[in-house]
A = this chain, B = another copy of it.
């Protein structure tokens, strides 16, 4: 059974996958994330043709449960303590969203309405998983590697992971946003949107409801934040009525990244507020709806992350974000 383990110093949770019966020589598998399926039939194309009972379908989008990290969702998650160490046996749920029946690899190549359906699917699954009182957070993310570099699954897909804990980076943002509100009586992200709109120098693209910028303190080359102009802490509620506008924004950004940066690997993560905001039992989370502002982080992966960056949280960005934004603004895409 997979486990969640908590770092005893900083409180960072790590998913420890179930031990696979590997021989020592097989421990090191550099190609773990690099396998290509070109010589086999694509399992995601097949899943959709078979119409298996284990597959949830919504139009052209199909959802399968990943067996590696999911535990039985009807079972109680067991929390244990062993000396210093905290463990949760069982992880939660990991769903793979198969974005299209076609064997396409990059979300950038989907139509705007397909992208809209995918984001609506995230929203539906997040609301569904929120009903399970064991879960405290849900991550929706995409992890794309171009065919040339190789990727575990070439068929374009996203992930929804529900967990019984709140990830550390999410907590940091909640704490930072609360501190800013306490100091100023304003939302830090609303202020950020206003300041970025005024200066304009880091804007990559703007739609009616969203603003895409390279962050002032970007961690990596061509990092992009997609910020809703309207204040809302929660992604599924916040996008209501703005689904198409968001899909148009994502289409433009993904195309600019694909075309301007030579089809790089990229990830995006939807940064939404945790579940059960009214009932967390911790006073400091009471004000999440007021303090926090959902957004999306989109990160092309052009350079490797050095160990000292992982170890210290101190990043080096080789190009000023203003220059990145200027470059991306000028990338022309076909409509």
Contacts and interface: CB of A to CB of B under 8 A. Distances in A.
Interface of A: 3, 5-17, 19-20, 22, 24, 27-30, 32-33, 69, 83-85, 139, 141, 143, 159, 163, 167-170, 172-173, 175-177, 180, 188-189, 191-192, 195, 215-221, 261-262, 264, 266-269, 271, 297, 299, 301-308, 310-321, 323-324, 327, 330
A302 B30 contact: yes
A321 B12 contact: no
Of A139, A170, A316, chain B has the most CB atoms within 10 Å of the CB of: A316
A27 B319 contact: yes
Number of copies of chain A assembled together: 2
26 contacts: A8-B180, A8-B217, A9-B180, A10-B173, A12-B217, A12-B313, A13-B314, A14-B218, A14-B315, A16-B317, A16-B320, A16-B321, A17-B318, A32-B302, A32-B303, A33-B303, A83-B191, A84-B195, A85-B216, A141-B308, A170-B312, A220-B310, A267-B308, A269-B311, A297-B311, A305-B310
A308 B143 contact: yes
Given A19-B319, A169-B314, A314-B169, A9 B163 contact: no
Contacts of A32: 302-303, 318
Given A5-B217, A10-B176, A217-B12, A306 B169 contact: no
A127 B139 CA distance: 43
Majority DSSP secondary structure for residues of A touching B: mixed
Of A84, A175, A308, chain B has the most CB atoms within 10 Å of the CB of: A308
Contacts of A297: 307, 311
B6 A217 contact: yes
A19 B308 contact: no
A202 to B, nearest CB: 10
B267 A217 contact: no
A313 to B, nearest CB: 4
A153 to B, nearest CB: 13
Nearest to A176: B9
A120 to B, nearest CB: 20
- The 3 residue pairs across chains A and B that have the minimum distance between CB atoms: A267-B307, A169-B313, A168-B313
Contacts of A30: 262, 302-303
Contacts of A28: 221, 261-262, 264, 302
Given A10-B173, A69-B316, A139-B312, 14 more contacts: A9-B189, A12-B217, A12-B314, A13-B217, A15-B315, A24-B330, A27-B323, A27-B324, A83-B191, A167-B314, A168-B172, A168-B313, A269-B311, A305-B305
Contacts of A305: 305, 310
Contact of A188 (B12, B84, B302, B310): B84
B84 A191 contact: yes
A9 B188 contact: yes
A192 B312 contact: no
Contact of A307 (B299, B312, B321): B299
B317 A17 contact: yes
